[in-house]
Amino acid sequence: MKIKLILIIILNIFIFINGQNNKVLIKSLNRDINFLDFFGINCEFNLFSSDGVSTQIAFIKALNKVNWIRIGIRFDELQPQENEPIKWESLDAPMSQIKASGLNTIVYFTGAPKWASVYTTDDGEFSPFYPPKDNNVFANVLLEMAKRYPFVKYWQVWDKMNDDLYWKSSSADDYSSLFEACVDVFKANKLDGLLSVGSFSEFGYYSPDDTNNMIDDLVKLDLFKGYTASYQPYTAYPESTTNTLPIDFADQNQSYLLVSSALNQVLKTAGAPMVFSSSWGWSSNNTDKGETLQANYIVKRLFMDIFSNFDKSFIYSLADIPNPSSNTDSSINYYGLLTGSLNKKDAFKELEMVFQITGLTLTKPENLKSEILGVQDGLVFYTFKKTTTNTTLVAFYTTNKEQTITLTGLTGEKAQRLDFGATYTNKLDIVNGSLTLSVNSTMSFLEYPIKDDSSDEPSDSISSFKASSFCLILILNIIILFIFSL
């Protein structure tokens, strides 16, 4: 099955880039995106006071396009001693706040206290990430939580279980046994629809230099059929999988898009009804550009995930770690959209602006007949239809040196461009159906046609693929289905 997974990814890449410049990424949306349904945020509410949780929920609500959050709960913290009752009081207050907020919630349940773990003193220093010695004990505590907090939409069984630091077994069979025990307990209570397979790190690979993949191993065990799947696609850059995968397909603009799209297809072919990008982001403390670069990368990855056909995408995280320990890698503490003292960072401000530009929903643009002239390596160019104004919306930037492009075949007389840090009032003239744009490394937006009276005139759009693309994707899907039938 490992060979099948790698083969599928390679086939996807070959078919997608055949005859195209893989240093340029030009795409047009082919589905509806409702941000309330698509975009979510990981939250570390357990690190904050009740007032801090309330403040963070208010920030989420202020974004106005976010209705999903993801949080973690640790078994070893919930019931550290076997003969003591579960510490519900540590959860009830924040869970009550979450319930009152109306936010759709995913909880991943992980860890095992020493008394419920396979750990022995021969293993050396204790870690809560040894597997449970009795899967039914773990499953029944999870069931108790599901009954106590029925508003939770999904309960993910464990987290990062392909990573030996977080699943000290390195065994897909052991994880499958744990998940099946949870399925049995939840089915007996008619709650199995709430379960989700835990989230994988590193695209499912056991380590960065290992070609063995737990997703592949669990596909063989038929684990995903009927259950939502998710993984955590952290990469060095928004567009690239370089230095993340053991198989480095490319460091071009399409690398992340191709690998994630192929893996999502593998999971859905294996029976997963939905696939989530469950945790991703960048620290504001690991480069000299700090918050500016973090914000730039986050906005770019959000749109990458839209085109990778994820069903939901969850950024990590809402807030920086408050009062971080000096013993930890400092960059880990600064992945938040907010500071540890709960003030807006540049990333939060840019997301606010993005959602103001896009509105709630984006959809497939109509009348794809325009062209882009002067394209150079590094161009990333996305086209959407903005439903609130019935106009065409374009997001664009370059991963290479600055360039100038010309859009031709446009209708209307005016367009408007937004660059981050500027106001959304820069109106441009469309002359003889053409418009010239400078492109730099920061994502910019163009909306057209715009009239001075802001009328809702229908729009044209930029074509992003050759007519043969549909046939190529169809061929890919047929090949995938054939491989899985072997």
Residue 330, helix vs strand vs coil:
helix
Q: How many CA atoms lie within 13 A of 305 on its CB side?
A: 30
Q: Report pTM.
A: 0.90
pLDDT on residue 243: 53
What integer best gives the mean pLDDT of the chain?
Answer: 88
Residue 441 domain flag: yes
If asked whether residues 376 and 298 sit together in one domain, one would say no
- 298-314 burial, b at 16+ Cβ within 10 Å, e below that, comes to bbbbbbbbbbbebbbbb
Average pLDDT of the residues in 155-183 = 97
Residue 14 domain flag: no
Residue 397 domain flag: yes
Residue 41 domain flag: yes
If asked whether residues 295 and 314 sit together in one domain, one would say yes
Residue 69 domain flag: yes
> Residue type for 133, please?
K
Is residue 42 within 8 A of residue 320, CB to CB? The reply is no
Average pLDDT of the residues in 286-313 = 92
The pLDDT confidence band at residue 326, using thresholds 50, 70 and 90, is low
Instruction: Give the residue from 338, 361, 384 where a domain finishes.
Output: 361
pLDDT on residue 287: 58
Cα 280 to Cα 123: distance, rounded to the nearest angstrom = 32
If asked whether residues 338 and 419 sit together in one domain, one would say no
Residue 79 domain flag: yes
CATH number, domain at 373? Answer: 2.60.40
If asked whether residues 339 and 443 sit together in one domain, one would say no
Task: Determine the structural domain holding residue 386 and report its residue range.
Answer: 365-462
If asked whether residues 120 and 223 sit together in one domain, one would say yes
If asked whether residues 349 and 387 sit together in one domain, one would say no
Residue 4 domain flag: no
Total Cβ atoms within 10 A of residue 233: 26
Least confident range of 5-19, 200-214, 327-341: 5-19
- Owner of token pair 């570390």: 44
Cα 375 to Cα 293: distance, rounded to the nearest angstrom = 24
Handedness of CA 396, 398, 401, 406 (dihedral sign): negative
Which DSSP helix (H) or strand (E) runs through 99? helix 89-101
pLDDT over 70 for what percent of the chain? 83
Residue 61 domain flag: yes
* The total number of structural domains that make up the chain: 2
CATH number, domain at 181? Answer: 3.20.20.80
Which DSSP helix (H) or strand (E) runs through 11? helix 2-17
Cα 318 to Cα 297: distance, rounded to the nearest angstrom = 15
Instruction: Give the residue from 361, 395, 424 where a domain finishes.
Output: 361
pLDDT on residue 64: 92
If asked whether residues 333 and 447 sit together in one domain, one would say no
Is residue 199 within 8 A of residue 230, CB to CB? The reply is yes
